Amino acid sequence: MKVDLNDPIFKKIASIVQSNQIPAYVVGGFVRDIFLNRPSKDIDVVVLGDGISPAKQLAAQTPHSNFAFFKNYGTAMVKTNDWEVEFVGARKESYTHNSRKPAVEPGSLTDDQNRRDFTINALAISLNHDDFGTLVDPFGGMQDLEQKIIRTPLDADITFSDDPLRMMRGIRFATQLSFEIEHETFEAIKRNAPRIKIISFERISDELNKIMLSQKPSIGFNLLFDSGLLQIIFPEMAALYGVDVIDGKAHKDNFYHTLMVLDNICADTNDLWLRWAALLHDIAKPVTKRFEKGTGWTFHGHEDKGSRMVKKIFGNLKLPLNEKMKFVEKIVALHHRPKVLAEEGVTDSAIRRLIVDAGEDIDALFLLCKADITSRHKVKVETYRKKLEEVKQLVTDVTERDALRNWQPPVSGEDIMELFTIGPGKAVGILKTEIREAILEGKVANNREAALQYVIESALKLGLTPKEI
């Protein structure tokens, strides 16, 4: 089978390797994506010999390109305006039990294809003069592409035991491509799941994030759970699974509910961290679950507890402990508030608090609330959506009327210390809280003059005297 490699860069690489009399092939993901009609700018070239020399020549012949080589790995990279081309010498690998870093030695094209993780990634296209564009497919990768199957080229147990990250990659490919993992391959993932413990969480989270950014992440999380990997790498998520029944009363399965919410929000946003907030919005339900006679199952405080769990989860998974994490904490903490307002009715003060607490993330919060509607009852869904839209409109109206977007009280802690010639302490905190609450409750106008007068009156009750009254 011939493949049309019509971009000039392939002719250029072919000319270079021919002049050096070194066989070379395009391999891996780029070849796979040709047949899947997926855009790709990363080209991997396997050279039967030294890969650094032809890479250096390609860079020299390509204006405005960048060249880098990595001697320890025997690889070289050429970046152009349109492509990233990585050259590597064909190799075969052998592994020790406690490491995914292989011992490497030069090998043939067959050796190089044998070490690939899946048949669809073991495809190669010749760049050689005699058979330029010929597909080399020793493991039936094209058939697997057509049948939408993820399968290992060689013994799956050896493949996954050698490099356990391949289990995560297989699930990620199945999620991104909407492929099925072949039965024996998936059984091998289940058998080798404990081997994932030798993989760093940085690598695991990189795969998790790619699953999260796919069109339907639930595919990946279901596979992670069914394989036993999720219970090892993310036990808090696995703990959501299952339904308890007491006195004939059952709660919903929070694992599948969470996956529905995650898929729902993916239709509205590509924001990775808002997707993480959707995944974690009910994460504390297992630890807050209680059965109350006459009431049934409750999860009181799950939003607050869940918010406080975020930092530990991000730390365990080696996700960033920065403003991204704080955003997820905030959305998880607030995700129940609009629902309560929609169900129980609203006051201006409750709307003001929501606006102030959510700040610039108010729109993201409502996206999660919309995604959180997972009932099978159409009338119930439509009723709740209508109420949620009413709350959202009230937020817009009150924000515009009361100038509350990114609001801060008009009297700061520094103002209070200056006014009463005191240093930081309990009194300052009390007064800051009082003026904030008074404005949000509508007792005091949202301006500096009214706020200062209220602070003075409150301070007098505490025995504080301003410099001038």
Q: What distances in angstroms separate CA 392 from CA 229, 328, 368, 405, 451, one per listed residue?
A: 39, 20, 13, 14, 28
Which of the listed ranges 158-172, 284-298, 425-439 does the model predict with the highest average pLDDT? Answer: 158-172
Residues 6 or more apart whose CB falls under 8 angstroms from that of 112 comprise 27, 46, 90, 91, 92
Q: Given this model, what pLDDT does residue 406 score?
A: 67
Q: CA–CA separation, 228 vs 214, rounded Å?
A: 21
> Is 60 exceeded by the pLDDT of residue 99?
yes
> Is 90 exceeded by the pLDDT of residue 311?
yes
| Domain spans in the chain, listed from the N-terminal domain onward | 8-141, 413-461
In the chain, the amino acid numbered 400 is: E
Residues 379-401, mean pLDDT to the nearest whole number: 87
Give residue 173's pLDDT band: very low, low, confident or very high (50, 70, 90): very high
pTM of the model: 0.86
Q: How many Cβ atoms sit within 10 Å of the Cβ of residue 322? A: 9
CB 259 within 8 A of CB 211: no
Question: 173: number of CA atoms within 13 Å, CB side?
Answer: 25
Over residues 260-306, the pLDDT tens digits come to 999 999 999 999 999 999 999 999 999 999 988 878 888 999 999 99
Q: Given this model, what pLDDT does residue 94 score?
A: 61
Residues 401-416, mean pLDDT to the nearest whole number: 78
Report the topology of domain 8-141.
Beta Polymerase; domain 2 (3.30.460)
CB neighbour class for 412 (10 Å; exposed up to 12, middle 13-18, buried from 19): middle
CB 203 within 8 A of CB 240: no
Element (DSSP H or E) covering residue 45: strand 42-47
Residues 133-160, mean pLDDT to the nearest whole number: 96
Angle at 280 between CA 274 and CA 281, to 5 degrees: 85
Q: Per mean pLDDT, which range of 10-14, 224-228, 314-318 is the poorest?
A: 10-14
Q: Given this model, what pLDDT does residue 469 score?
A: 41
Give residue 405's pLDDT band: very low, low, confident or very high (50, 70, 90): low
Residues 347-351, mean pLDDT to the nearest whole number: 84
Q: Per mean pLDDT, which range of 80-94, 162-176, 258-272, 314-328 is the poorest?
A: 80-94
- What are the two backbone dihedrals, phi and then psi, of residue 136, each rounded to the nearest 5 degrees? -115, 115
Q: Tokens at residue 432, please?
A: 């800051």
Residues 74-81, mean pLDDT to the nearest whole number: 89
Q: Given this model, what pLDDT does residue 353 score?
A: 86
Q: Given this model, what pLDDT does residue 50 score?
A: 84
Q: CA–CA separation, 121 vs 260, rounded Å?
A: 31
Average pLDDT, the chain: 90
Q: CA–CA separation, 236 vs 335, rounded Å?
A: 19
Over residues 49-69, the pLDDT tens digits come to 888 889 999 999 998 899 998
Percent of the chain past pLDDT 90, that is, above it, reads 59
Q: Per mean pLDDT, which range of 59-73, 89-103, 170-184, 427-441 is the poorest?
A: 89-103
Q: Given this model, what pLDDT does residue 352 score?
A: 85
Give residue 379's pLDDT band: very low, low, confident or very high (50, 70, 90): confident
Residues 240-263, mean pLDDT to the nearest whole number: 90
